[in-house]
C-alpha cells in the first residue's frame, strides 16, 4: 500500500507551552490533528477554570487562520482543588479533563498532588460531573528506582483510585511498561491509556548505549525493549479501543536538553502521525492506524469523530535537524533521520 486515507486524528496528550514557544510550534499540531488535549503544566499551571479559558484564548490567537484545530482544555489538580472548581469546570464546555501530577514528578509539577487522598473530594466531584481524570502514573519516592516508578504507582496509588471511584473515567497517560498494559487490560472500559510515538519507537538502549542521548530523555523514562516496548507495540496495534494516540510531544530548547541536568521531554508534533504510521507499518498493521489515531480517543471521551480526512503517502523524507523555537532551537524526535510516510497537505 502506498497511500492511505484516514479520519483526521486527534492528539489526546499534547504540551503546547505558552508565549513565543507556543507560537513557534502550534501550527505543526494544527496541520496534523483535529483536536488535542492540552496539558496544563505551564510554568504557572492552569489550576482554575478562568486560567484554562485564558490559556485557550492564547492558543486560538496563536493558531494559523482557519486551521479548524480545537484545543481541549485540562485543569491541573492540586491539594487545594475544590469540588466547586470541578463543578465549574463541568459547566465549562471548553474543559474536557483534569490532570493528576504527583508533586515533583516532572516538568512544572511542584504544585501537583502530594497525596492522592488530598484530591478525593475533587475526584468525587469529577465522577459526578463525568470529567475524566488524566494521570501521570509515577511515584516520586526516592527509594523507588526510576525505571520502576510507573509499576509501583499502578500498584500503590492507581489501583486504589480505580476501586474507590468505580464510575470515574481514567486515562493512564503515556504508558511505558508491560505492567501498565496488563493493568489497563484487566480494568473495566472506563480505564484507558495513551501511548506515545517515542515509547513505541525507542527503548532505553536508544538513550544510553554509545553515550547519553539527552533528546531521548523523557518521563516516564524509556524502558526495556523486552518486555516493555514489545507490550506497548502489541497493545497499540491490537485494535483494542482502550489504547489510543497521545504524543506527549513536549518541546524544550536545545540548551535545556543538552545540559548537565537536562529537561525531560521529546518533541514529536512535527511528524506525529507519520511516526505512528512508521510504527503500524513496521508491525504490518497499517490498517489498524485509523482506529488508534482517530476513533478510539473520541469514543472514550464521548465525542464525535472528525469529519475531515487526511492522506498519508509512502514517500520517504528526512526530518530536519532542528526547528526554530522561541529564539532558540528545538531538536525533534527522529532529527536528521528518514521517515517513510508523509502527510500530504
Ligand atoms: O517527558 C516529559 N515532558 N514528561 C512529562 O511528564 C512532562 C513533559 C514536559 O512538560 O516537558
Ligand atoms: Zn505530558
The answer, yes or no, to whether residue 273 has pLDDT greater than 80, is yes
Residue among 41, 109, 110, 268 to mutate when testing ligand 1 (max atoms within 8 A of CB): 41
The whole-number average pLDDT for the span 273-287 is: 98
- pLDDT of the residue at 345: 75
Is residue 91 within 8 A of residue 131, CB to CB? The reply is no
Active site residue 110: no
The active-site residue, picked from 10, 228, 248, 281, is 248
The answer, yes or no, to whether residue 28 has pLDDT greater than 80, is yes
| pLDDT tens readout for residues 235-259 | 999 999 999 999 999 999 999 999 9
| Confidence tier at 1 by pLDDT (50, 70, 90) | confident
Q: Distance (Å, rounded) from C-alpha 108 to C-alpha 105?
A: 9
| pLDDT tens readout for residues 178-206 | 999 999 999 999 999 999 999 999 999 99
| HEC assignment per residue over the chain | CCEEEEECCCEEEECCCCHHHHHHHHHHHHHHCCEEEECCCCCCCCCCHHHHHHHHHHHHHHCCCCCCCEEEEEEECCCCCCHHHHHHHHCCCCEEEEEECECCCCCCCCCCECCHHHHHHHHHHHHHHCCCEEECCCCCCCCCCHHHHHHHHHHHHHHHHHHHCCCCCEEECCCCCHHHHHHHHHCCCCEEEEECHHHHHCCHHHHHCCCCCHHHCCCCCCCCHHHHHHHHHHHHCCCCCCEEECCCECCCCHHHHCCCCCCCCECCHHHHHHHHHHHHHHCCCHHHHHHHHHHHHHHHHCCCCCCCEEEEEEEEEECCCCEEECCEEECCCCCCCEEEEEEEC
| pLDDT tens readout for residues 110-160 | 999 999 999 999 999 999 999 999 999 999 999 999 999 999 999 999 999
pTM above 0.85, yes or no: yes
Of 61, 76, 75, 72, nearest to 27 by C-alpha is 61
The answer, yes or no, to whether residue 32 has pLDDT greater than 90, is yes
Is residue 277 within 8 A of residue 289, CB to CB? The reply is yes
| pLDDT tens readout for residues 103-112 | 999 999 999 9
The answer, yes or no, to whether residue 209 has pLDDT greater than 80, is yes
> Is residue 294 lining ligand 1, measured as CB closer than 6 Å?
no
Closest ligand by atom to 173 CA: 2
> Is residue 38 lining ligand 1, measured as CB closer than 6 Å?
no
* C-alpha grid cell, residue 79: 491539594
Amino acid at each position: 500500500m502506498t497511500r492511505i486515507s484516514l479520519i483526521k486524528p486527534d492528539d489526546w496528550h499534547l504540551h503546547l507551552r505558552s508565549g513565543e514557544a507556543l507560537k513557534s510550534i502550534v501550527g505543526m499540531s494544527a496541520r496534523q490533528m483535529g483536536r488535542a488535549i492540552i496539558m496544563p503544566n505551564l510554568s504557572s499551571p492552569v489550576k482554575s477554570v478562568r486560567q484554562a479559558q485564558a490559556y485557550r484564548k492564547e492558543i486560538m490567537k496563536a493558531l494559523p487562520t482557519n486551521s479548524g484545530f480545537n484545543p481541549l482544555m485540562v485543569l491541573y489538580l492540586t491539594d487545594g482543588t475544590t469540588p466547586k472548581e470541578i463543578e465549574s469546570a463541568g459547566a465549562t464546555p471548553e474543559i474536557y479533563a483534569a490532570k493528576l501530577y504527583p508533586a515533583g514528578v516532572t516538568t512544572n509539577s511542584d504544585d501537583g498532588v502530594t497525596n492522592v487522598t488530598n484530591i478525593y473530594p475533587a475526584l468525587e466531584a469529577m465522577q459526578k460531573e463525568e470529567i475524566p481524570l488524566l494521570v501521570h502514573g509515577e511515584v516520586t519516592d526516592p527509594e523507588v528506582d526510576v525505571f520502576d516508578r510507573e509499576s509501583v504507582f499502578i500498584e500503590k496509588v492507581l489501583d486504589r483510585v480505580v476501586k474507590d471511584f468505580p464510575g470515574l473515567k481514567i486515562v493512564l497517560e503515556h504508558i511505558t511498561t508491560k505492567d501498565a498494559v496488563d493493568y489497563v487490560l484487566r480494568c473495566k472500559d472506563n480505564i484507558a491509556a495513551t501511548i506515545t510515538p517515542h515509547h513505541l519507537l525507542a527503548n532505553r538502549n536508544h538513550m544510553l548505549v554509545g553515550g547519553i542521548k539527552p533528546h531521548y530523555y523523557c518521563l516516564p523514562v524509556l524502558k526495556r525493549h523486552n518486555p516493555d516496548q514489545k507490550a506497548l507495540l502489541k497493545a497499540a496495534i491490537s485494535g483494542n479501543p482502550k489504547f489510543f494516540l497521545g504524543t506527549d510531544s513536549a518541546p524544550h530548547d536545545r540548551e535545556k536538553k543538552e545540559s548537565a541536568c537536562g529537561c525531560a521531554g521529546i518533541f514529536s508534533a512535527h511528524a506525529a502521525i507519520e511516526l505512528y504510521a512508521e510504527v503500524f507499518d513496521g508491525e504490518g498493521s497499517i490498517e489498524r492506524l485509523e482506529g488508534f489515531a482517530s476513533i478510539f480517543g473520541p469514543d472514550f471521551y464521548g465525542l464525535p469523530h472528525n469529519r475531515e480526512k487526511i492522506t498519508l503517502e509512502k514517500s520517504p523524507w528526512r526530518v530536519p535537524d532542528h526547528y526554530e523555537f522561541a529564539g532558540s532551537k528545538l531538536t525533534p524526535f527522529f532529527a536528521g533521520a528518514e521517515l517513510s510516510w508523509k502527510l500530504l497537505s
